Structure 1
Amino acid sequence: MLKSVTYSKVVSSVFLLLCFYYILLVFSTDNNSGKGFWKEINDGWWNDDDINVSLEDSTKIQPIIGGLSGIKLLRYFNDNLDYLNKHIPKHFHPYNNNYNQGNTTNASSNKVVVSSYYDLFWKFILSNKLDTQSMIEVLTRDVDPLNSVHSHNDYWRALPLFDALLHGVNSVEADVWLVEDYDNTTLAVGHNNLYLNPEHKNLKKLYLDPMVYMLNEINHDNNVTYGMFYNSPETTTFLFIDFKSEDSVKTYNVLVESHLSTISRYLTYRRGTPSNDGTIENTIVWKPITIILTGNYPDLHGHEDEMLKPYIFFDIDFDDFTSKEAAIQILKEKRDAVLITSSSMSKLIASCYSNSEDYESYSGIRKLPFYPREMAHFEIRCIKNKINIAHEVNLETRIWGVPEWPIHIRNTLWKQQYNELNSNFLNTNDLDAIIAF
């Protein structure tokens, strides 16, 4: 009898344990309605407001991101890639190429637009924002634009343009190559023409399409245009387009005719006003996007006036500013279509030594790159003189090619540029470091 009772207790205990284990298994296993109770608790996804929201019943996965924006939103996305990839509805897809419509309904949910990672980020934002929200609000609601940072080689990032916006950076850069394939002409984006991917990485898909998609959401009045920072809608975003191809004139024509002409309402432009002496004075009308051509762009001096569109601006080298008069002459040749001037650190340093009688023995430095070190007092005085000239003719400055390693040297050079040279833009590849600077 005792053995029978003991046996019954053992069986009952085992049965209860199995039931308990089964309950845990049900709540902790992935299924169609979510990620699993315990896993959501541990990952911090569980929210009382989410209890009645399932992916089967809703086209939104919200309120998952809540009040996140900027780099917090980016970190959240990166920390939950596996879950998002499994559960974001497939019908959410990045923009198509229709600037005017700006909808996603015609895009194939299976076709990669840029990359799997990039496309997932778009789906993540689209599937989380409320119908009354714009992408700009979701991305930059709590982001203040820095206005003094340039995202160098921005196209190298996993999220071109978006990474910069989420960090508050309003100046980005894309290297473009003219790629002609039968009747299809594309401005591919990349550092080296051997590794271009024109179908997925081109100027439209990485920059112009997402910019216009976001701007179309918030600009319904043709008389007013708002930019890409929610808390600072008047702030423009500079898009530097670095010409790489030998045929710069054709690259320019393709850029203007096939890429920019249809979106001119969003582009900063020059408005000519006759002055009392009969000359034309240019007034800058700021818009959400400011186009700056740099690199191997064509010299339009002497070409027909219609070639130089009012929304095109040129990047020139302020190392050539030997005097204010010289700067004014250069601007006349560019028909005053200049807002920002750029020069390399190595060229500026070499120029300082080669133009100084006291340092004739250092003229050979012109052939050498600027090695990682802080600038000497003489170099600071020399470069600052040229920056002052640029400022006198109402131009902003940017120095590229500044060493970014070792870190302590990079930080010192940033301080010298910002505090001593008064250069307007810090050129960097490391956005996380610059916002912590």
Structure 2
Amino acid sequence: MIRFALICLTICFSLQSIAQQIHSHNDYEKPEPLTAAIRNRAGSIEADVYLVDGKLMVAHEKSQIKPGRTLDSLYLKPIATLFAQNKSRYSAGGSVTNERKYTFQLLIDMKDNGVEAIRELEKAVAPYRTCFDRTMNPMAIQLVISGNRPPIPNWVDYPAYLLFDGRPSELYDDETIKHVALISDSFQNYSRWNGEGELPERDRETLKRFIKRAHHDNKPIRFWGAPDNPNAWKQLGKIGVDFINTDQVEECAKMLK
């Protein structure tokens, strides 16, 4: 009976690890930044960040920066507040919701000054460390650095709570790959499919080879610039895309249920 239970548990964890999840693309542009993504149980939430006068400002373009829209005010502090509200016997350090297993990654797309911006990020995270460090709290939010990243050989020098968004063209040694959270690439590098009808067979096979290679290294996959409609979400899920990149979080969540 015990052996059977362990087998079932292993299967459940395996299914959970490959479950298709939502990546809330440019989440800060949504009517309800962070809140809507959490409500719809997104597995990944994206914020574009510029370092301006020592502050981590959230915006798609530098010209669109607005006073007060900082990474701290839009994401770090609200997440810390949720953790404080959701402490329980299951998670003494708190969690982002009252669900025992739900957490996500906060993908921070550094638009410039990557090394300096990460230095400021470490300072900003310090007051909320238990909310963003899984060595301290298994339910912590995983911070992932994308965009303007430091040189790859230096990734091993950063705190363990900071991981990086990898690329298929990059080579990682056995130690560095431990600091890679996922592999991302432009969909346009593999296909020009617009999301209507069937994904062309040739493109499907090309994508599946790339996905298989990443999965062999136990890394999930995300494509930016992929078609963003229900038909595309379904077909990308079928070939093994882990994070569905979408601007339509609520609609995508309904389809994935």
- The answer to whether structure 1 residue 260 and structure 2 residue 125 are counterparts is yes
Equivalent residue, structure 1, for 2:32: 159
Q: CA deviation at 1:222?
A: 11
Matches of 1:210 and 1:330, distance apart in 2: 34
Equivalent residue, structure 1, for 2:7: none
- The answer to whether structure 1 residue 336 and structure 2 residue 155 are counterparts is no
Q: CA deviation at 1:344?
A: 1.1
Pick from 242, 248, 251 the counterpart of residue 430 of structure 1.
Answer: 248
Task: Give TM-score, length-normalised by structure 1.
Answer: 0.50
Counterparts in 2 of 1:189 and 1:428: CA distance versus 1, 3 Å: same
Matches of 1:432 and 1:235, distance apart in 2: 17
Q: Deviation per CA, 1:85-125, whole angstroms, max 9, x where unpaired?
A: xxxxxxxxxxxxxxxxxxxxxxxxxxxxxxxxxxxxxxxxx
The 5 A counterparts of 1:4-403 are: 148-180=21-53, 185-197=54-66, 199-219=67-87, 224-230=92-98, 232-245=99-112, 247-256=113-122, 258-269=123-134, 286-302=138-154, 307-318=157-168, 320=169, 329-332=171-174, 334-349=176-191, 370=192, 372-373=194-195, 374-403=198-227
Matches of 1:300 and 1:259, distance apart in 2: 23
Q: Runs in 1 of length 4+ with deviation above 6 angstroms?
A: 220-223
Q: CA deviation at 1:224?
A: 3.6
Matches of 2:82 and 2:154, distance apart in 1: 37
Q: Secondary structure of 2:181's match?
A: strand
Letter in 2 for 1:339: A
Pick from 387, 412, 429 the counterpart of residue 231 of structure 2.
Answer: 412
Q: Secondary structure of 2:190's match?
A: helix
Contact map agreement 2:182 2:222 (CA 8 A) in 1 = yes
Contact map agreement 2:132 2:140 (CA 8 A) in 1 = yes
Q: CA deviation at 1:156?
A: 0.1
Q: Deviation per CA, 1:31-70, whole angstroms, max 9, x where unpaired?
A: xxxxxxxxxxxxxxxxxxxxxxxxxxxxxxxxxxxxxxxx
Counterparts in 2 of 1:229 and 1:213: CA distance versus 1, 3 Å: closer
Counterparts in 2 of 1:434 and 1:424: CA distance versus 1, 3 Å: same
Letter in 2 for 1:249: V
Q: Secondary structure of 2:124's match?
A: helix
Q: Secondary structure of 1:210's match?
A: helix
Letter in 1 for 2:159: K
Residue identity over aligned pairs, in percent, reads 25
Matches of 1:338 and 1:411, distance apart in 2: 29
Matches of 1:261 and 1:380, distance apart in 2: 44
Q: CA deviation at 1:287?
A: 2.8
Contact map agreement 1:167 1:432 (CA 8 A) in 2 = yes
Task: Give TM-score, length-normalised by structure 2.
Answer: 0.82
Q: Deviation per CA, 1:222-272, whole angstroms, max 9, x where unpaired?
A: 974342232x22322210000001x2211111111x21223222224479x
Matches of 1:149 and 1:287, distance apart in 2: 18
Matches of 1:270 and 1:288, distance apart in 2: 9
Counterparts in 2 of 1:178 and 1:152: CA distance versus 1, 3 Å: same
Q: CA deviation at 1:169?
A: 1.8
Counterparts in 2 of 1:384 and 1:270: CA distance versus 1, 3 Å: farther
Counterparts in 2 of 1:396 and 1:377: CA distance versus 1, 3 Å: same
Matches of 1:215 and 1:375, distance apart in 2: 41
Q: CA deviation at 1:394?
A: 0.9
- Identify the structure with bigger relative contact order (alpha carbons < 8 Å, sequence gap 6+): 2
Contact map agreement 1:219 1:225 (CA 8 A) in 2 = yes
Count the aligned residue pairs: 235
Q: CA deviation at 1:164?
A: 0.8
Structure possessing the higher radius of gyration over alpha carbons = 1
Q: Secondary structure of 1:309's match?
A: coil
Matches of 1:147 and 1:335, distance apart in 2: 22
Letter in 2 for 1:237: F
Matches of 1:211 and 1:178, distance apart in 2: 21
Equivalent residue, structure 1, for 2:6: none
